[in-house]
A and B are shown apart, each in its own frame.
Chain A
Amino acid sequence: MSQSRKRPEPVEVVKQRRDVALAGLVDGIPYVQFLGIKIERHGDELTAVLPFDEKLIGNPLLPAIHGGVTAAFLETAAVIQLSWATLWEDMESGVLDPTTLGPENMPYLPKTIDFSIDYLRSGLPRDAYARARVVRQGRRYASVHVEAWQDQRGKLYAQATGHFLMPNS
């Protein structure tokens, strides 16, 4: 047995820390709560979930989800992913105590510079999912790509690219 290997933390401790940090990031944003967006976590991978609701409809004839809702959903997924990636290292190393996060003590979020959305299919009246990937993160600027789908992971209904100004830059 290697003497240098640190004994791994109990799984509950790890999960608790990460879930508390994620909740601190998401729960304090009223607009995210208004749209009903939830964030699911597997390890460090996040999936944003938008459960369908009548108030999200933009075209009552089809019916289809409002394009503005899709824009907001993808932008939220991008901002959360970017903040999460920044938060992760501090959280895992113990520099940041996740229990201190909350509506009154939110981590500073990146600011959107621009956001460009491709509407590939009309948003059906059912749940939507989005996953964001930080393509490049520098000290001041970041570029993030987001993919969103509904029934089939391979059939995107929207994708977007956004540029963000990092906090404290």
Chain B
Amino acid sequence: MIKGLTPEKKAEIARKFTEAIPHCGALGMTLDDLGDGEAVMSLPYDEKLIGDPRTGVIHGGAVSALLDTCCGSAVMSHPNAPAITATIDLRIDYMRPATPGQKITAKATCYHVTRSVAFVRAVALDEDEGRPVATATGAFTADGDPKRRSTEISSEITGEAST
């Protein structure tokens, strides 16, 4: 969806995305890239996200929220998946604390879609991209029935008409 668009259009889509999802707006999350089952999202560092006041490391839950949203976005952008989805399960592995002050970027890939389920994996990185902060694997709902293939959210985000 986003790939191949102008930077202005991408920025607009990213803005609409966070406006459409209150929690993403509250965290300051942005959608940086999207298309063909892949999504990139980022979360700027903010003091309100701190989980350990002694070190300033952000809470694992904020990383989880970013990974969950990024995985969901990857599913919605997959050509064979519906534009609306819900998490069935999500497992997060925490490799190391994110470096305080740095932006966290998540990259998710929806690597397989059946009639009912979409399988996704994702990685969360800070500025040291060689050492992941966390990884996630998840299963998401994928209702393949075209009649129920709601594109409400995606059309709201991209400004395209529903099919």
Contact = CB atoms under 8 A, between A and B. Distances in A.
A119 B25 CA distance: 22
A99 to B, nearest CB: 18
Nearest to B57: A111
A13 B48 CA distance: 33
B52 A72 contact: no
The residue in A67, A106, A112, A114 that gathers the most chain B C-beta atoms within 10 A of its C-beta is A67
Contacts, number: 132
A57 B23 contact: yes
Given A29-B50, A115-B64, A60 B93 contact: no
A91 B48 CA distance: 29
Interface residues of A, number: 40
Interface residues of B, number: 40
B69 A116 contact: no
Interface of B: 20-26, 47-54, 58-62, 64-69, 72, 84, 86-94, 97, 152-153
Interface of A: 28-35, 54-61, 64, 66-69, 71-73, 75-76, 103-104, 106, 109, 111-119, 122
A69 B67 CA distance: 11
Given A30-B50, A58-B21, A58-B23, A117 B65 contact: no
Contacts of B93: 113-114
